Structure 1
Amino acid sequence: MDSLLNNLDPELRNSVLSIVKKVPESVSIFQKVYDAGRTSNNEFEPLRKSQKLGNESTSEESIDRSSVIFGLNDVSVLSPLRKKLNLALHLSRGDKTPTLSLLRDGRQELAIRDLGKNITMAVFLPVAEKMGNVYLFITYTKSVDDKYGDPILITLNKESVLQQFKQNGIIENEIGEFTKCIEYMRKQAILAGFRITDPFFTNSSQQSPSFHVECHRGTKEGTLYFLPEHLIFGFKKPILVFQSSDIESITYTSITRLTFNVNLVTKEDEKFEFSMIDQSEYNKIDDYVKRKQVTDKSMSEELKAKSNYKNQQAAQGENNEPSALKEAAQLMEGGNEGGNLNGAEFDDDDDENDANFEEESGSSDGSDESGEEEMNDETADREAMREEQHDEQHEMEDAEAEEAEDLEQEQDGGGDADDIPIELDDDDDGDDDEGSGVEYD
């Protein structure tokens, strides 16, 4: 009972005490009502003494818990301010119109009303390299009192959001899919008059799949999101948002083996360069450009034309200029007519070729005489070769004759004279030298 009374403002506490004095049994009822209220709305801070309920306060600095459509506790807000805040989708106190608020200690830090008109885009986006987190990104025309104008960027931890949904009885304890949380938040947004798109998580069957690439803008590293109707670069200030219909052209520049740059030009002639994009992302970006019918004014076609020109020049060079092998073959055919390059055979008496050789090698600096000397040396070499071959032939014949003579002598000395017929010289002139019975050529 004390915890109940301590969290009520003095006027309300006196009213409760007066009822309890008259009906003591009402103490347990008040306590149950208080506990039930805290359990069903535990994403908000307990009521402070300065807070009022119902229509007793028209201040936009506090909200009525009974008007809350949906809320999340302790979310990380990155823009337009950086701190842990509570997110609430609720009805305003005055005219009960849907309102989106970021709260701290129950007080509004930022509020947007007329959500159907003021919110221009709301989307869930993946966090690069952090699979456990999701961005909620919202752009709007104006906030209450025009206090802020930069987009709202909130980081949602999937596990934390799942636990809050289960504690509040929004989803069953057995459910572990974060997509169920996304589906619920989208339905609540529709009730409030605006839509939160989800191009990455639950709409995998869409015809134009969304994607994101890592890149730089100047020295700032960030993520470039390609969405069905928008391009977003973030998330360091300033966050850039483009409608795809407002893009005049895209240019690919600084193309290397690993990376390339994208230069974006809007229809208002604003230029933005996104650099150091991985080459593996080119096809996806190029497909996006073609789907959106954005003009590609890059140098790629010109570079292709230059490349084709070089290829054509190379092809013409192959057709018009003989290769080194062909050129060498032509030179050999033109300079060695009538002879074999390997020196296998030469015509010994080719006077006509000798004359042509002398004519072609003639010059005014005395090269005729050197040519004649070279020919004489060549002729002398041929003659020496013939003589050497002739001497070898005679040596072979002499060797064969000696072998025949030795064989015959062996037959005369080692065999029976009666068995071997021998013709005797009938002449008695005594010239035994010439009648040896062996003939020589």
Structure 2
Amino acid sequence: MAGAHPQEIDLAFAGNHELRKRVHAAIDQNPTQTTLFRDISAYILGQASQPSNEPSAKKRKLEDSNGAQNGSGVASSLTSAATKAWRQYPGVSFSLPQRKKFTLELVDKRDGGVRAVGADGSVEFSIPWRDVDQVFCLPVPEKAKRQHNFIVLPVHGDGVNPVPDHLKSSPPEPIVWTFEEATGKNIVEGEDPGPSPMAEAIHHCLIQASTGKMVIFPDADQFESAIPQSHRKGEKAYHVKGHRGSKEGYMFFTSAGIVWGFKKPLAFFDFASVTSVSYTNVLRNTFNLVITTQTGDIEFGMIDQADYNGINEYVQKHGLQDASMAATRRAQKLNVNPPAEKKDNGTNGAAAEPDDGLTELQRAEQQLQNMEDEEDEDEEDYDPGSEGESEGSGSDSEDEDGEGYEGAEGEEHEEGYEEGEGEEGEEMES
């Protein structure tokens, strides 16, 4: 068993988890090889501690490039169990990239990071602070006990923007774990039972690594849901429930961008990645939100109409419907000169909108009402004798209320909805 393996083997191969597992497996299969692997491990450890004959200046530069600490000459790595953690949180429930309990560790060095450590002391997965794009702390909706999900997003791991060619074989994945607030007897007097202490510890590490990042919490000034939480009266909700294809999830409108979670594929739309936002399939109770990026459209369906005003205010506040602003934001993020503004009928590159003082959603609702009025007029001229065969406004009004969705063709609608995003609009309009 792995617990019986000599300690020097674990130390020698601490920086390569897969190789260490292969060594353990070889020993388990043929215990007579234990002495050989122990000698190899001792040699590796001896070489690591040998003083170098390189000139001191060159040696110092080499050590720095390998992340050596305290001038010891021994390379320090986030994935090495020999690198000591600044904070440890045992028994933390992770959901990404693995759904399992690990010990959460924070390494507060410049070349440190966040990592998950297994029961055998091995590092299962990690993200260096220098590779962190964003860190979020978001409440988990619809839970009886207060829970918060910490999301550590790596650069190129937002699930929206294209991944560089050299990372396509193994794209970076976010790390997500759940913090459950202490209640009752578990509350320690004088300690905050919420996620703030953990967030402050992460923020300390981000400062130590000079990342310029901070932990982002939801903010009512950015977005607050108009739908009350039935299970926790009087408490604000910051999420919007919706569907991406057949998968149900939650959207959070934060100061850094829009987060969709918490299951795979998790997505983060920073303002620079959003070309425009539009509304489709506008019904009386629900609507769809389409976020257009450089790589295409991503549609989120079945959003409650009660949250439209809050979402639209957020969209307007950050100029997410203006394609020219999106290009400027991308230029600023890439630290290049912004593109010259192109004027098209005085709209600065954006598609011309009717100057009627209405929002896009209100115009869509108006069009829907006009269609109903036209159907009513047609119904007045229709032959009463063929009323049983009519497809008049009665069925449409049911669809608007959401009641007709479970009618005679309800199963077909549901199946079409679960097949994917591409058919969603077509099914909902039918």
TM-score under structure 2 length normalisation: 0.49
TM-score under structure 1 length normalisation: 0.48
Q: Which has the higher contact order (CA 8 A, sep 6+)?
A: 2
Larger Rg: 1
